[in-house]
Amino acid sequence: MGSNGKSESSIKNRIRRLRFDHDEMTQQQLADRVGVSRQTIIALEAGKYLPSLPLAFRLAATFGVRIEDVFQMQVPESETSA
């Protein structure tokens, strides 16, 4: 895998879906609950920012799910078919 991150696995998340499923929680409400800015939530949802492990745990706990239910690793097909 390359060090620039372009050919490496990417992390997808279900934060927007989970917010909707939890009484249509706003980005600001989620940010307040996990102790970050709304801009951080926006960046997370857009896939432009990967959370720290403690933040990932806080996000999962807020929704009452496992981290794997919030974040999923997407492995490029070239790596899974080798």
CATH, residue 21: 1.10.260.40
The 10 Å Cβ neighbour count of residue 30 is 24
Domain range enclosing 47 = 10-80
The answer to the question of residue 57 being in a domain is yes
Q: Is 30 left (phi over 0), alpha (psi -120 to 50) or beta?
A: alpha
Q: Looking at this protein, which amino acid is placed at residue 38?
A: R
Identify which of 54, 66, 62, 74 has the alpha carbon closest to the alpha carbon of residue 27.
62
The pLDDT assigned to 43 comes to: 97
The reported pTM is 0.80
- Summarised one tens digit per residue, pLDDT across range 8-29 is 568 999 999 999 999 999 999 9
Give the rounded percent of residues in the chain with a pLDDT score beyond 90: 76
